[in-house]
Chain A
Amino acid sequence: MAQTYFSKDHEWIVVEGDSATVGITDYAQAQLGDIVFAEVPPAGTALEKGKEAAVVESVKAASDVYAPVTGTVTEANAALEADPALVNTSPEQDGWFFKLTLSDPSELDGLMDEAAYKAFVESL
C-alpha cells in the first residue's frame, strides 16, 4: 500500500516498500510559475537527504529541488525533458521528477502526511 509524505521544501514522496517516487507539490509549482526546464538526476545517482537533487527553471529563476530522503535514483522522468510544463499541469502525477530506492526508511518519520502538509501550507 503506497503512502504519501511531504517535506517542508514542498516535495512529495510516494513510498511503496523501499522504493519511492519524488516530485514537487501543486503549491510549489504554482509559486514557481511556468517551468521552462527541469534537470533531473539520472539513474544511479546517489542522493543525500536535504541535498540538491534536481533543478527547475522558470522564466525568471532557477530553483533547487532537494532530496527528501537518502537513496539511489532508479529512474528519472524522461518526459520532463521534452515537456517541462508537466510540472505545472500535473505536478503530483505525470510531472514526477525521479524514483529512488530508500537507504534509510526511518527518514520518512521526519516528513509530514497530507493533513500536516496542508496545515503547513495554510500557515505560510
Chain B
Amino acid sequence: MTDAPTQNDGVLDDDMVDAGPDTLPLDAWHRARGARMVEFAGYHMPIQYEGIMPEHHWVRAHAGLFDVSHMGQLLLSADDGHAGLDEAIEALVPADVKGLALGKMRYSLLLAENGGILDDLMLSRWPGGIYMVVNGATKYDDLAHLREHLPDEITINHLDDRALLALQGPEAFAALSRHVTGEWPLDVLGFMTGGRFEICGVDAFITRSGYTGEDGFEISIPADAAEAVADALCGEPEVKPIGLGARDSLRLEADLPLYGHDLDEETTPIAASLGFALSKRRREEGGFPGYERIMLERAQGAILKRVGLIVEGRQPVREGAPVLDGEGSEVGRVTSGGFSPTLQKPIAMAYVPTAQAVPGTAITLEQRGKLFTGIVTAMPFVPHRYHRKGA
C-alpha cells in the first residue's frame, strides 16, 4: 500500500512531484527530520530519511515508525445494530463480517460485479461499528462505491481528522508498551486484533497489524496529536522514522501486494493469489460480487496467477517488464520489482500463466531489450514474524 516511482529519466530528473499535493499532519515533522518528500496518493510523503537500505534493515532488526495518514480510515455504522451493517458490507466483500468478533481484524477486498478488485482493505470490529482502512490512492473512489451500494441506513464516517501511524519491527512492542495505557495491557493484542488505548494522553485505536511482515502495530489517533505521538515513539532507542521506499521493499519481501500495481480492477482474488481472503462461509453461501467467476477460477485456476520471482543476476527487473513465452510473446507482466535488502538479490511479483506458477519454474522477463530469468519462488521471500496468539 505504498509506492514510489520506479524509473527516473536521467540520473536525477525529479518527475515525482506534481503541483498541488495535499499535506499530511506530520508534513513539517518529516521535513524537520531530513526526509526527502515525494508525491504519493495525492500527498507529500517522505520516501526516505537516511536511505532505503539502512531503513529497511532497521525495521527488520529494531522498530520503524511509518506515517500512513494518507490511508483512508472509515467507520461504518448502522442505527439498527450490527446485523444490518454486517449483511450490507458482506454484499461488497468476500469476508465473513458477521463472524468478526469485537476487536478482531480481517484482510478483505472490495470487489466489482465482475470479480475484479476495486481495493484491498482491513476490517475491524469496533464497539461502534466496522472500522475500515483503505488505500490512500483509492479512498475517494471507495467512498463513492460504498455510498452508492450501501443502504441509506448505513452511516459512513470518513475519519479524516485522524492520523495513522505504523510501528513495525521486532522491538515495536517494547517501544510502544512504554507509552500505552488502557483498560487492558498492550500484550492482550495478538496479530490481527485491536482495541482502544491511550497514548500521550489521547484516545487511540491500536491494532496489531502492518505491512512489513514483522510484528507491529497500527495506531489511529487524532491528527492534532500526531506530532506528540511521533516524537514520543521516535524518542525510544529502538525506533527510527522510516519512509515509503523501505515500506515498499519490506512489503515486497513479505508477499504483501500493493493496490494499483499488483492488484487492480483487472485482477481477481484467485489470479492475485489471495484465495485466503475468501472465507469458508462466504465461499459456500456466496452473495459477494463476482461470486460465480471467482468460484470457477478457484476450481479451475485463473488464466494468470501472481507469483514471486527471484531474478538471476544482480539487476532488478521493475514493474511493467513483460513476461515472455518460448516464442517471445508477452504472456504476463512484472507488477512489482526491486532489490531485496534482506536477501541481497533482485525479487519481483509477476503475473504468469497459471501452468507456470509452480516454484522452481524459470520465467523469462524482458527489460530494455535485455532478457532476464526469474525463478518462481514461494512467498513470502522473508518469513513473517507476526505475534500470533493461540486460537
A residues touching B (Cβ–Cβ < 8 Å)?
Answer: 9-11, 24, 28, 31-34, 36-37, 39, 55-66, 81, 84
> Contacts of B300 on A, CB cut-off 8 Å?
none
Interface size class on chain B is: 20 to 34
A33 partner, pick from B9, B48, B315, B316, beta carbons under 8 A = B48
Residue of A nearest to B341 (CB): A59
Q: Bound complex: CA of A65 vs CA of B10, how far in Å? A: 6
Q: A34-B51, A36-B339, A57-B339 are in contact. Are A62 and B318 (CB under 8 A)?
A: yes
> Contacts of B315 on A, CB cut-off 8 Å?
37, 39, 57
Q: A36-B314, A36-B339, A37-B315 are in contact. Are A60 and B52 (CB under 8 A)?
A: yes
Ordered by A's residue number, 29 sampled pairs between the chains whose C-beta atoms are within 8 Å are: A9-B10, A28-B12, A31-B11, A34-B52, A36-B316, A36-B339, A37-B315, A37-B339, A37-B346, A39-B315, A55-B368, A56-B11, A57-B316, A58-B52, A59-B53, A59-B56, A59-B249, A60-B6, A60-B47, A60-B248, A60-B249, A60-B338, A61-B8, A62-B6, A62-B316, A63-B11, A64-B9, A64-B10, A81-B314
Complex interface residues of chain B between 1 and 25 (CB less than 8 A to chain A): 4-12
- Judge if B210 is at the interface, Cβ distance under 8 Å: no
In the bound complex, do residue A37 and residue B11 qualify as a contact, i.e. CB atoms below 8 Å apart?
Answer: no
- Judge if B216 is at the interface, Cβ distance under 8 Å: no
A62 partner, pick from B7, B51, B56, B341, beta carbons under 8 A = B7
Residue of B nearest to A58 (CB): B52
Residue of B nearest to A60 (CB): B245
In the bound complex, do residue A34 and residue B53 qualify as a contact, i.e. CB atoms below 8 Å apart?
Answer: yes
Q: Bound complex: CA of A59 vs CA of B347, how far in Å? A: 11
Residue of A nearest to B52 (CB): A59
B2 to chain A, nearest CB (A): 11
> Contacts of B52 on A, CB cut-off 8 Å?
33-34, 58-60
> Contacts of A84 on B, CB cut-off 8 Å?
314
In the bound complex, do residue B12 and residue A32 qualify as a contact, i.e. CB atoms below 8 Å apart?
Answer: yes
> Contacts of A11 on B, CB cut-off 8 Å?
11
> Contacts of B339 on A, CB cut-off 8 Å?
36-37, 57-59
In the bound complex, do residue A60 and residue B11 qualify as a contact, i.e. CB atoms below 8 Å apart?
Answer: no
Greatest chain B CB density within 10 A among A56, A60, A66 is at A60
In the bound complex, do residue B314 and residue A63 qualify as a contact, i.e. CB atoms below 8 Å apart?
Answer: no
> Contacts of B318 on A, CB cut-off 8 Å?
62
> Contacts of A39 on B, CB cut-off 8 Å?
315
Closest 4 pairs between A and B when the two form their complex, measured CB to CB: A34-B53, A36-B339, A59-B52, A37-B315
A31 partner, pick from B6, B12, B248, B338, beta carbons under 8 A = B12
> Contacts of B5 on A, CB cut-off 8 Å?
61
Q: Bound complex: CA of A59 vs CA of B315, how far in Å? A: 10
A52 to chain B, nearest CB (A): 9
Q: A59-B339, A61-B5 are in contact. Are A28 and B249 (CB under 8 A)?
A: no
> Contacts of A58 on B, CB cut-off 8 Å?
52, 339
> Contacts of B314 on A, CB cut-off 8 Å?
36-37, 81, 84
Q: Bound complex: CA of A62 vs CA of B316, how far in Å? A: 8
B45 to chain A, nearest CB (A): 14
Q: Bound complex: CA of A58 vs CA of B56, how far in Å? A: 13
> Contacts of A66 on B, CB cut-off 8 Å?
10-11
In the bound complex, do residue B53 and residue A63 qualify as a contact, i.e. CB atoms below 8 Å apart?
Answer: no
> Contacts of A10 on B, CB cut-off 8 Å?
11-12
Q: Bound complex: CA of A65 vs CA of B12, how far in Å? A: 9
In the bound complex, do residue B6 and residue A33 qualify as a contact, i.e. CB atoms below 8 Å apart?
Answer: no
Greatest chain A CB density within 10 A among B4, B7, B53 is at B53
A24 partner, pick from B6, B11, B316, beta carbons under 8 A = B11
> Contacts of A31 on B, CB cut-off 8 Å?
11-12
Residue of B nearest to A65 (CB): B11
Q: Bound complex: CA of A55 vs CA of B368, how far in Å? A: 11
> Contacts of B8 on A, CB cut-off 8 Å?
61-64
Residue of A nearest to B54 (CB): A34
Complex interface residues of chain B between 347 and 380 (CB less than 8 A to chain A): 368
> Contacts of B4 on A, CB cut-off 8 Å?
60-61
Residue of A nearest to B340 (CB): A59
In the bound complex, do residue A63 and residue B12 qualify as a contact, i.e. CB atoms below 8 Å apart?
Answer: yes
Using A37-B314, A59-B56, A60-B52 as known contacts, list a sample of 12 further A-B pairs with CB atoms less than 8 Å apart, ordered by residue number in A. Answer: A24-B11, A32-B12, A33-B51, A34-B51, A37-B315, A37-B316, A39-B315, A62-B6, A62-B318, A63-B8, A63-B12, A64-B10
Q: Bound complex: CA of A55 vs CA of B212, how far in Å? A: 29
Q: Bound complex: CA of A65 vs CA of B11, how far in Å? A: 6
Q: Bound complex: CA of A10 vs CA of B10, how far in Å? A: 9
> Contacts of B245 on A, CB cut-off 8 Å?
33, 59-60
